[in-house]
Amino acid sequence: MKCRYCSREAIEIINGKAYCEEHFSKYFLGKVRSIIDKFNIKGEIAVALSGGKDSAACLHALHSMGMEVKPFYINLRIPSYSEACEKKAAQLCDMLGYEMKVIDVAEYGISLEKERKPCSTCGTVKRYLMNKFAFDEKCTCVATGHNLSDAVTFAFNNLANVNILNFRGNKPYLEGKEEYRMVAKVKPLYWLKDKECMLYTIINNLPFAEEECPYSINAPTLKIKDWLHALEGEWPNIMVNLAKSFWRLEEMMEKETNINICKKCGFASYGSICKFCKIRAKMEKQEK
Ligand code: SF4
Ligand code: ZN
Ligand code: ZN
């Protein structure tokens, strides 16, 4: 099949349109650009790298667009997995000419090993440390590699668990709040599906870890994602429509949530002590 925009061979079909390599890259960067422009993102962006394909694509796209970026990696100390991911993230930074900052959770006395729900603890720890890094480095926002497939999967998973309070983070952009030391968050890949991010990573020869986190085995989110992709095959654009609906719902809910300042660390919290400080206190106790 030929590309819709030139005479070259197509490598991907998106919503019925065929794209060659060059026009696919233009499509991809155009989607990233639409987020950057809509939310007027400028200044230095702290880019969270996980070692995986999405954050690699995110850093590369922002770099190609000439944005000012500061990549960093959070080492979660997950045996064998974290080391492999750090290596790939460092290779990517070398390739693009950046120095990569590494944050080690062990420095905060944190380990996921004994956690009953490691993913929940991991999520809190990552969100906290990403924000702290961007705040300390005086970056204007934090960018993560979350894509469309992740956003819709995350929302469905919360619905499936009656986890309405956690039903946040569906939007491509979350404004910062200086008085709460909250730095703005952006998801530049918000309109791009898993498969498109993988293709962009491959086209640009970006290093990424193929290992899966050992805690993700049998995760219900993997099944939800497969189901959504199958649905998308029969109903093009359903994921975009779902994401827009979840985004609106989140906006309606936001008006009702109160933010405080954590008494221990001074960062934002929904209670008097933030979840990160609670995790640290619990782990300190376990140590004794
Ligand atoms: Fe963290 Fe691994 Fe769970 Fe992902 S799968 S949230 S990296 S523990
Ligand atoms: Zn083309
Ligand atoms: Zn705190």
Ligand 1 binding pocket (C-beta < 6 A) is 112, 118-119, 122-123, 213, 215-216
> What's the pLDDT tens digit per position in 220-233?
888 999 999 999 98
User: Is the residue at 41 inside a domain?
Assistant: yes
Q: Enter the pTM of the model.
A: 0.93
CA 277, CA 263: separation in Å to the nearest integer? 9
Strands (E), 132-274: 141-143, 173-174, 184-186, 260-261, 268-269
User: Is the residue at 18 inside a domain?
Assistant: no
What is the predicted pLDDT for the residue at 288? 74
pLDDT band for 168, please (50, 70, 90 cuts).
low
User: Is the residue at 180 inside a domain?
Assistant: yes
> What's the pLDDT tens digit per position in 180-191?
999 999 999 999
What is the predicted pLDDT for the residue at 25? 98
Ligand 1 centroid to residue 222 C-alpha, Å:
12
Q: What atom in ligand 1 is closest to the CA of residue 50?
A: 7
CA 285, CA 288: separation in Å to the nearest integer? 5
Q: Which residues contact 176 (CB under 8 A, 6 or more apart)?
A: 140, 141, 182, 183, 184, 185
What is the predicted pLDDT for the residue at 9? 97
C-alpha distances out from residue 124 to 120, 201, 232, Å = 6, 27, 30
In the chain, the percentage of residues whose pLDDT exceeds 70 is 97
Angle at 126 between CA 86 and CA 137, to 5 degrees: 80
pLDDT band for 161, please (50, 70, 90 cuts).
confident
Q: What is the mean pLDDT of the chain?
A: 93
User: Is the residue at 269 inside a domain?
Assistant: no
User: Is the residue at 170 inside a domain?
Assistant: yes
CATH number at 94 reads 3.40.50.620
User: Is the residue at 283 inside a domain?
Assistant: no
> What's the pLDDT tens digit per position in 89-103?
999 999 999 999 999
At residue 169, does pLDDT exceed 80?
no
User: Is the residue at 8 inside a domain?
Assistant: no
Arithmetic mean of pLDDT, 157-162: 86
pLDDT band for 110, please (50, 70, 90 cuts).
very high
Half-sphere exposure at residue 286, Cβ-oriented, CA atoms within 13 angstroms? 13
Ligand 1 centroid to residue 100 C-alpha, Å:
21
> What's the pLDDT tens digit per position in 172-222?
999 999 999 999 999 999 999 999 999 999 999 999 999 999 998 878 888
pLDDT band for 167, please (50, 70, 90 cuts).
low
pLDDT band for 165, please (50, 70, 90 cuts).
low
Residue 55 lies in domain: 25-257
What is the predicted pLDDT for the residue at 226? 93
Residue, of 250 and 68, whose pLDDT is higher: 68
User: Is the residue at 278 inside a domain?
Assistant: no
109-115: long-range contacts (C-beta < 8 A, 24 or more apart)? 109/280, 109/283, 109/284, 109/287, 110/77, 110/279, 110/280, 110/283, 111/77, 111/283, 112/76, 112/77, 112/78, 112/215, 114/286
Neighbours of 97 (CB within 10 A): 7
Per the CB < 8 A criterion, the answer to whether 19 and 200 are in contact is no
Taking 3-state DSSP, the helix, strand and coil percentages for the chain, each rounded to the nearest 5, stand at 50, 15, 35
Number of domains in the chain: 1
Q: Give the DSSP H/E element, type plus range, for residue 82.
A: helix 81-96
User: Which of 55, 85, 115, 122 best tests ligand 1's pocket when mutated (most atoms within 8 Å of CB)?
Assistant: 122
Q: In this structure, what DSSP letter does residue 14 have?
A: E
